[in-house]
Amino acid sequence: MVDQSAVGRSFTPVTARVEPGRLRYFLNTLGEQNPVYRNADAARTAGFTGMPVPPTYLFCLEMMDVDDPFEMFSALGIDLARVLHGEQSFIYHAPVLVGDTLTFRPRVASVTDKKGGAMTLIGIRCEVTNQDGVHVADTARTIVVRNEVAS
Amino acid sequence: MASADIKAGDRIVHKVFPPITRHTLALYCGASGDHNPIHVDIDFAKAAGFPDVFAHGMLVMACLGQALTDAVPPSKLRSFATRFVAITQLGATLTCEGTVTELFAEGGERRARLALTTRDDRGEVKLEGSAVVAL
């Protein structure tokens, strides 16, 4: 079981490029028709200097470009089959645009046992910066681990 | 969104999405980089104790995000948070809604806080969240 010793642990920073083709695949999968994500003129009219990404896409970028997408789970000894996503948040500081190269720096912020140890909640926080060193966003997620309970 | 007239209690986000299919889950697996087999491989899902594959929480949040930026320009979005309340099953038709709960000033601008929900066609809450937008 994951315990307090995991708090503060950080993982390999992830560098991700915002590629137009992969973004289009995401937009098509979601049936996203908003011109602000698909048309350069619409994006400019909406106040962007390039094409922006949808609000949850930061989460995808981190997973797409990581060398080992489940590094955190293996490092902490968590079985993927026992993991659920509990919470997710994004704080946006500056636009993220197609062509940007982002760096994600994830770390364990908290570990909390629930229901007498039947579940462990792991809080992961991640700072996101772009190629110019601009702090564009902060993300946070809570991972729920369903622990094996002796019967 | 006519930002001058906005007030607490206004429902400004509302969108209904087509039913979630296995195909959607397969596409989202590739599109999102979330390759956890629990969402696409029924054998894996069953071995993990689930009756079938189920939607990625982040797929559901992406729908809510889409509903949100249909109503609010993405340049105005300051934060977006959700709690995944229940697993979203195959075939679910999701309805995403957002209501203004508070108007306030922060960071030198007027902002609104929205309470967000995503429900399936049986009315079961899947996601509960909030967003802060600039007016």
pLDDT in tens, A100-147: 999 999 999 999 998 888 999 999 999 999 999 999 999 999 999 988
Please tell me the predicted confidence (pLDDT) of residue B2: 54
- The predicted pLDDT at position A37 comes to 97
**Residue ranges in chain A assigned as alpha helix (H):** 20-29, 40-45, 57-65, 71-76
Q: What is the distance in angstroms between the Cα of A133 and the nearest Cα belonging to chain B?
A: 19
Write the residue in A60, A85, A91 that is nearest to B79 by C-beta. A91
> What is the structure's pLDDT at A84?
87
pLDDT surpassing 80 at residue A150: no
Flag whether pLDDT at B31 surpasses 80: yes
Q: What is the pLDDT of residue A149?
A: 60
Percent of residues in chain A assigned helix, strand, coil, to nearest 5: 30, 35, 35
Residue A62 with chain B: CB contacts under 8 Å: 33
From the number of C-beta atoms within 10 Å of its C-beta (0-12, 13-18, 19+), residue A21 rates as exposed
The residue-averaged pLDDT of B58-76 equals 97
**Residue whose C-alpha is closest to residue A137's, from A71, A21, A57:** A57
pLDDT of residue A135: 98
Instruction: Give the residue-averaged pLDDT of B44-64.
Output: 95
Is there a contact between A56 and B44 if contact means CB atoms under 8 Å apart? Answer: no
> Looking at beta carbons, which residues of chain A come within 8 Å of B126?
none
Question: For the residues B28-57, what does the mean pLDDT come to?
Answer: 93
Residue B70 pLDDT: 97
Distances (CA, A) of A112 to A4, A79, A107, B17, B85: 8, 17, 15, 35, 18
What local confidence, expressed as pLDDT, does residue A151 receive? 43
> Residue with structure tokens 């203004």?
B100
Of A46, A66, A88, the CB nearest to B81: A88
pLDDT at B111 over 70: yes
Mean pLDDT of chain A: 92
pLDDT band at B128 (very low <50, low <70, confident <90, very high): very high
Distance in angstroms (rounded) separating the CA atoms of residues B11 and B40: 35
* Percentage of residues in chain B having pLDDT higher than 70: 97
Cβ neighbours of A151 in B, within 8 Å: none
- Verify whether the Cβ–Cβ distance B17 to A31 is below 8 Å: yes
- Residue A93's pLDDT is 97
Cβ–Cβ below 8 Å for A47 and B75: yes
- What token pair was written down for A110? 């908290």
